[in-house]
Amino acid sequence: MTTEAIDLAAVKSLLERLRTFQEETETLSSQVTKLQDERDKLTGVLKAIESHFKKEIQTLEAKHEKALLSLQQSHQEELQLTMQTLTEKSEIIKTELTQRNNDLRAQLAKLQHSYQAVINRIRGIEA
């Protein structure tokens, strides 16, 4: 009778541990899904921002060329000064856009790292 009681208690304990494990797995799975969604969202945002910035740079370059042609016809000296200013501003904008792009890539990398850590944790629990 005692052996049966011990075995029954052990089975109940194992079942409880199994339920706990299942709940933890479901929680981690939910976290993975959320991280994947966030990663996908940030990837989409990053691509949209990159596209926007590329278009903006192209627009700026087109404006620069148009302004340069106009200035060539009127004042050569003024043209050189304007060209230098436009180039400097263009470089500043490119630098800022590149920095923002790098920041977004770093955020994405952190999210991917977190995502991988959660997956590794799930794999560790399953093992």
Annotated domain spans of the chain: 32-126
Give me the residue label for tokens 């043209």.
Answer: 79
Q: Is the pTM of this model over 0.75?
A: no
Neighbours of 106 (CB within 10 A): 10
Which of 111, 101, 115 has the alpha carbon at shortest distance from 45? Answer: 101
pLDDT tens digits, residue range 36-77?
Answer: 999 999 899 889 888 998 998 899 899 889 887 876 777 777
Q: CA 93 to CA 123: how far, in whole Å?
A: 45
Q: CA 88 to CA 77: how far, in whole Å?
A: 17
